[in-house]
Amino acid sequence: MNGSESLPRPYTAFLCLDGWAGRTEQAVEIVADVGRMVRIRAITDRTKLAGARRYIDRGETALVPAYAITCRKGPAGLLTMTGPYP
């Protein structure tokens, strides 16, 4: 997937966080691109954001840096966690 492809909104991607315990990926919906930031919507019960004690619950939205999002379509249209956000 490259930056020239147009994806329908909202679509599912992964929010990647690097922490002391390793890297975590959580499924989120991309709602909008806002410059270098991306507005996401949580689709799990509790989604961890960067920072101490920063969480959003299912259905809530937040702005995150675009480099924290990965999205790639694999076989059978499944999303995999490789490559940066387009």
The residue among 4 and 28 whose pLDDT is bigger is 28
Residue 29: closest CA among 3, 73, 74, 61: 61
Q: At a CB cut-off of 8 Å and minimum separation 6, what does 71 contact?
A: 1, 7, 11, 12, 13, 14, 30, 79, 83, 85, 86
pTM of the model as a whole: 0.70
Whether 12 shows a pLDDT value over 50: the answer reads yes
Whether 74 shows a pLDDT value over 70: the answer reads no
> What's the rounded Cα separation, in Å, for the pair 18 and 2?
24
What tens digit of pLDDT does each residue of 42-73 get?
998 998 898 888 999 999 999 999 888 887 55
